Amino acid sequence: MSDSGISPGAPSSRPSGGPTLADLPEPAALLFDLDGTLVDTVQRRIEAWWEALRRGGVDVDRAHLSGYIGSDGRWLAREMAREQGRELDYAETEEFDRVSGAIFDELNASPVPLPGATELLTALEESRLTFAIATSSRPGQVAVSVSSLRLPAPPPITDGSHVANAKPEPDLLLESAAQLGLSPERCWYVGDSKWDMMASVRAKMVAIGVTTGAVDAAGLVAAGAAVAVASLTELHAELRRRGAVR
């Protein structure tokens, strides 16, 4: 059982009559979300946001909140407050995001990579394919989680500070592709939340869901995933079958 409370052992899912991993076009690059996709941090994100909102007078149910994890923090705060009839200005959303990040930093002292994450990224590092991390997280929160992956070299990272609007808007993914010098259509985006899938579709990337976060396969597919897999090990196996990685 992962930190998210969801077992990574569920089988792959795909839309009825839709593609399997083997049917997807050859990628030039793979872009990855971080929390819940590469590192087992979703439950800590939920707790950090729940506490930050509580301190700011916005009381929300943890189960309801979990569905918003992975989206832009300022947008999340605005939506949670709006559901209670309260409108936040930019400064207020920024403060909620800052407080949530500070609480998360305290909780995320020893993050653990999700199954297959280090192995897949290491294989990509040694392959002809390019990869990068595209995360809505604040830059100060990224380093500890990425360090836990113990990769051979620092990966390219695009974080929430690079764009005005992160997921579910496509800006973050488009910026990451631009930094790699690639068109979005040539990229696969791998994530664990519906916001990842929505951003990927809007960016015209191939959306691949992984059920190691707070959303099941059906939810990922409904949000736009071409395919939802149980873990990154499954994705690694497909790339190995194609001869793209070892």
Positive or negative torsion for Cα 125, 118, 195, 218: positive
Tell me what pLDDT residue 16 has: 52
Residue 9: the pLDDT is: 37
What are the residue boundaries of the structural domains of the chain, listed by start? Answer: 21-41+112-241, 42-107
CATH of 21-41+112-241, one of 3.40.50.2300, 3.40.50.1000, 3.20.10.10, 1.20.120.160: 3.40.50.1000
Q: What are the angstrom distances between the C-alpha of 42 and each of 39, 68, 171, 180, 210?
A: 8, 11, 22, 27, 13
Q: How many residues does the chain have?
A: 246
Which fold would CATH assign to domain 42-107?
A: DNA polymerase; domain 1 (1.10.150)
pLDDT, averaged across the chain: 92
Judged against a pLDDT cut of 80, whether residue 197 lies above it is answered with: yes
Express each pLDDT in 3-16 by its tens digit. 433 333 334 445 45
What's this model's pTM, rounded to 2 decimal places?
0.90
Please give the structure tokens belonging to residue 222. 């409904």
Q: What are 50-106's pLDDT values in tens digits?
A: 999 999 999 999 999 999 999 999 999 999 999 999 999 999 999 999 999 999 999
| Structure confidence at residue 141 (pLDDT) | 83
